[in-house]
Structure 1
Amino acid sequence: MPLPFLTADRAFDTTDHIALPFDDHDQWRRPYRPGSWRVGAAALALLLASFVLLAAVIITAAGGFSGGAATLATAVLVILAALRMLRMGTWVSRAGIRRAAFFTTVTVPWAKVTSVRTVQQPVRWLGLPRTVQGQALVLGRRGGEELMLLTDHNADFLSRVEAFDRAADTVEAWNAEYGVTPPATC
C-alpha cells in the first residue's frame, strides 16, 4: 500500500533550486521530507501495534472475545496515531497553507496570509515543554494572529539545519507565488 505522505517529491533533492517544482499546484504537498525522529516514533508505534494485534489474536483464540475486541481496538488506535503522526507538519497548495498537528488542522488561504518569515525565538524541543533557542517559520495572518509552521528543533528538522532552511525557503516561495503582497507604504 503506497503511503504518499511519507515521501516528498524527488524534486527537492535536485541541485537546481526551483521553488515550485510541481506540475499540479492544486494538490496538497509537504515541502520537505519527514524527519527521522518522526518516522522512528511512528515505526516504534507500529511495532507496538503488531504485538498488540498478536495479543488480540491470542486472547480471542483463548476464548476471551470481549478482551480480544478491546485489544484489537487498542491496536487500531495505535495504528491510527502512528499514521496521524506521519501526517503532521506543514502542507502547501494553490489554495493556501495547512498546519496539521496531532489533534487539529489549521488551513489558511493565501489571501489571508500577510507574511511568512523566519525568526529567532525560543522553540519547543521535539514538541516537549522544554524550550531552546532556535529558528521558527512564522505565518502572519490578517488580524495580527501568528501561526508557527516549522521549527528547527521539531521532529522533522532536529539536527537537519539545511533541511529546515530549504523547507522555509520553499514555503516562502509558495507565499511569494500565491500570497497577496501588502501595498507598499511610502
Structure 2
Amino acid sequence: MSKQGRHLHHSWVQSQEPANLDLRLQPIQQKEPMFYYFAYGSCMCPVDLKRSLGENTHCYVIGSGILKGYRLGFYRYSPFRKCGVLDIVKDSASTVHGVLYQLPMRVSDRLDEREDVPHGGYRHEYIDIHCQGQVYNRVRTYVVVNKLSKEFAPNDWYFNVVLRGAVTCGLPEEYCWNLFNHMYQLQQNHQLQQVRRSA
C-alpha cells in the first residue's frame, strides 16, 4: 500500500432524517499495510514471536499452512542461541508444515533482526502456502544464507519452543512426532560425539 493509505479518506453519508438532505463527511480509517509470513521454526510459537516483535501475535495467526517442495533441516548454528536452528531446503518429495501469519508491515524490520538478516544469517524467500483450502502467494519466509554441510543439533530450549509452537498451532500429530524424533536423534548423536571426544 502506498503512503496515501495512512491518511484518512472521506465518504459522503446521507443523514438518516428524510427531511434533512445535508451530507456529512465521515472519516474512514484505512487498514495498515500487512504482509504474509510463514513460520516453520521457533516463530511458530506466538509467545516467542511476541518477545521479538513487542506485541501479541496470536491475533495475526491465520492458521496452519503447508509448504510443498521443501524439507526441514538444522543447517545453521546460531551464535545467539548457541545451537543448531531450523532452515528449509528444496526437496520435491517433501513438505513443510508451519504457521501462516498476516503481520503488520511496521514489524517487518524487527522480524528481519530476529532472523539475523542484517548480518547475513537468513534471507527472504517468497513462497506459496496452502492454508484452509486456499493458496496464498508470495508469502515471506526465511532461509539460511550459508548452510552447514550437515545438521547441527538444537538445544533443549529451542527444541521445546519449536515443539510447543507446532502443537499449539495445530500442526498434524504425525508431523509433530516426526519433528520431535528428528530433533531428539540430532541431540542423541551430538551427545554421543561429545562423549567420544572426551574419552
**TM-score computed with the length of structure 2 as normaliser:** 0.26
Higher helix share: 1
Structure with the larger strand share: 2
TM-score relative to the length of structure 1:
0.27
Structure whose alpha-carbon radius of gyration is higher: 2
